[in-house]
Each structure stands twice: as C-alpha cells, then as structure tokens.
Amino acid sequence: MRERAEATVDMQGGDWRAVEYEGTEWAGPSYCIENGEGQPLFDEIGNGPDEARRALAEHIASWHPAVALAVADWLDSVVDAVDGTRPSGGSTIAIVDERHALTIARTYIGQAPS
C-alpha cells in the first residue's frame, strides 16, 4: 500500500476530486479525477449507468494517496504495538486493532479475510 501510494507522488498535487464533464451523446456525462491543481489524472471513469460511474469516480478520488499513506501508517503502528511486545492475552483494544489491521491488509492484497 505504501509503495503504491508513494509511487504516485508526482500525481498527488493536493486533494483529488471527481469532475463531471460532457461525455458522448449516447453515454451521457463522463467523470474524471483531477488533482488539487486541476490536472486530470484519470478520465472516462467506469462504464454503466451515470450514478454508478459518478460513485466510482468519487470513490477513487476519496482514496487519494495521502489516505493510503495514513492507512499504511496505522497498519505499521498496529504491527509495532503487537509485534512481540504485547504481553500474553494483551489488551482488548490491541487484539481488535490487530484483527482489523490484518483484515484490511489481507483485503488490500486480494486475500479473503479470515
């Protein structure tokens, strides 16, 4: 997650946003992702009904690399907190965080959560 987010550093340019623009006559509006400097990053997001394309564009824009880096930082902090330093039976919070962190990490890399 961190590696992929850091690889996009040249694209970041501030918060991303989904922008609607006039698409082809048969397809209706199209959506693209722009960075905070108004530079298009991705265009023609998705296919299908307008609402589905808009929702997909907004989702992609919300998963800005800074968000991915923040999640990566949190995952690292959970690993640091439980990696051999938690006493047997550790706190409920640490156990829950560890379980959630593993679920997020496994889902991100395409493994079914256990």
| Residue 82 placed within a domain | yes
Using the 3D structure, point to which of 29, 44, 63 is the last residue of a domain. 63
**What's the structural domain count of the chain?**
2
Q: Which single residue is written with the structure tokens 């962190």?
A: 101
Residue 98 belongs to domain spanning: 67-108
| Residue 7 placed within a domain | no
Same-domain pairing of 59 and 21: yes
Same-domain pairing of 31 and 58: yes
Same-domain pairing of 74 and 58: no
Which residues 6+ apart lie within 8 Å of 14 measured at CB? 35, 36, 37
| Residue 22 placed within a domain | yes
| Residue 91 placed within a domain | yes
Q: What is the model's pLDDT at position 91?
A: 56
The per-residue pLDDT string of the chain (114 residues; one tens digit each, 9 = 90 and over) reads 889 888 887 776 778 888 888 766 656 678 888 888 888 887 777 677 778 888 888 888 888 888 888 888 888 877 777 765 555 555 555 566 777 888 888 887 778 766
| Residue 4 placed within a domain | no
Same-domain pairing of 39 and 76: no
Same-domain pairing of 80 and 95: yes
Enter the pTM of the model: 0.68
Which residues 6+ apart lie within 8 Å of 90 measured at CB? 82
Cβ-in-10-Å burial (0-12, 13-18, 19+) of 74 comes to: middle
| Residue 75 placed within a domain | yes
| Residue 33 placed within a domain | yes
